[in-house]
Amino acid sequence: MRKTFFRPATAVLLALIMAIIPLSTVLASGNNPTHSLFALTPGDAFTPGDAFTGTDAPSTETDAPLTPEEPSTTVPSDPGTTLPDIPGTTLPDEPLTPDVPGTTEKPDVPGTTEKPDVPGTTEKPDEPVEPSNSDIVGTISLAFRMSRISFGHVWVYIHNTSDEPFEVGLYTVQPGEGVSLGNFNLTRSDGRGLYYNIESYCGNLYGLNGTVSVSDKLTRGRLNAVSEALKNGNHFDPIYNCTGFALTIWNIGSAKIVPFIPIPLVAMVEILLWGGRFNNLEMSYPPAEQVYKQKGNGKDAYLVPVCEESLSKPV
């Protein structure tokens, strides 16, 4: 029984002691704030703020201002804003870009060379190129006259207007003189092919009434081209007849290109359309000894005087 009584009594005593100790500490803490650190109640947690405020309620409030300072989490947002500013390293790129276009401006400046190219190349070809007086050495004429034994005869006449002799094919023309060039088939006794001065001699001897002719300036360059064509032009065929030969030589020596239609009467119409006139051709009168027939072509070409029979017929 004694044992049974002791245990309950002991338990009651311990309960009273446990109840008195917290009460006394609460009373003591109310009088001495410095001891509030030890005035803990069940369920409370100790925070550093309790040591300065002396109360439990503001301890949460003192923690609150610490949290706004901890929004240093916003600091990453601020540097986050600086991240677009860091691409402000594009600022060195911006000065580089003006330098690059600066270099593009330089090619634009030499692009002024395009201006001379546009007027220089396009205008000159479009405009007719007139030969200078220093390049002109003579005149070239394309002539037609109706013949008694054919539908007409077409030939070329070259006159030297320079102060020096020059070569026309295999023939030398002195200053102030000229040479006629014609291709014949069977109307001349020395055979078919190229003749020098037949038209000049026979035209002055028998007359040139009814002749239609057109003339143009002859440059030294065109004269050289004509000479080369004559050296290789000693032949006769239905296309390269008197008209075909004359149109070929004329188109080489003149800037007035005449359509190649190897028919004498058609050539007469073309001469008139290109500004030709009747009875407007004057040719020098060479002696009979200067009337020649060409033999061979190219390097083998040479001239021989014609026989009297070739000089006995008008053009």
Query: How would residue 186 be classed by pLDDT, with cut points 50, 70 and 90?
Result: confident
**Per-residue pLDDT, 74:** 43
CA–CA separation, 227 and 249 (whole Å): 9
**Per-residue pLDDT, 315:** 87
pLDDT digits (tens, 9 = 90+) for 279-301: 999 999 999 999 999 999 999 99
The residue from 69, 101, 123 where one domain ends is 69
For the ranges 43-47, 161-165, 296-300, 304-308, which has the lowest average pLDDT? 43-47
Q: Which domain holds residue 30?
A: 2-69
DSSP string, 122-168: HHHHHSPPPPPTTTEEEEEEEEEE--SSSS-EEEEEEEE-SSS-EEE
CA–CA separation, 21 and 29 (whole Å): 12
User: Residue 32 falls within a domain, yes or no?
Assistant: yes
**Per-residue pLDDT, 201:** 98
Does one domain contain both 25 and 144? Answer: no
CA–CA separation, 264 and 288 (whole Å): 27
**Per-residue pLDDT, 39:** 42
The predicted model scores a pTM of: 0.60
Query: How would residue 132 be classed by pLDDT, with cut points 50, 70 and 90?
Result: low
Q: What is the mean pLDDT of the chain?
A: 75
Does one domain contain both 174 and 291? Answer: yes
The residue from 69, 102, 125 where one domain ends is 69
pLDDT digits (tens, 9 = 90+) for 74-118: 444 444 444 444 444 444 454 444 454 444 444 454 554 444 454
- Of 97 and 269, the structure prediction assigns the larger pLDDT to 269
**Per-residue pLDDT, 150:** 72
User: Residue 224 falls within a domain, yes or no?
Assistant: yes
Does one domain contain both 42 and 145? Answer: no
Average pLDDT over residues 135-161: 92
For the ranges 63-67, 92-96, 148-152, 169-173, which has the lowest average pLDDT? 63-67
Number of domains in the chain: 2
- Of 16 and 220, the structure prediction assigns the larger pLDDT to 220
For residue 238 the two structure tokens come to 């239905």
Does one domain contain both 158 and 255? Answer: yes
For residue 253 the two structure tokens come to 């020596």
pLDDT digits (tens, 9 = 90+) for 190-201: 999 999 999 999
User: Residue 84 falls within a domain, yes or no?
Assistant: no
Cα–chain center distance at 209: 56
User: Residue 108 falls within a domain, yes or no?
Assistant: no
Do residues 169 and 230 touch, judged by C-beta distance below 8 A? yes
Q: Amino acid identity of 296?
A: G
Whose tokens are 């060409």? That residue is 294
pLDDT digits (tens, 9 = 90+) for 9-21: 556 566 666 655 5
Q: Which long-range contacts (CB under 8 A, 24 or more apart) does 267-274 make?
A: 267/142, 267/144, 267/152, 267/154, 267/243, 268/144, 268/152, 268/154, 268/212, 271/142, 271/143, 271/144, 271/212, 271/213, 271/214, 272/212, 274/214
**Per-residue pLDDT, 281:** 95
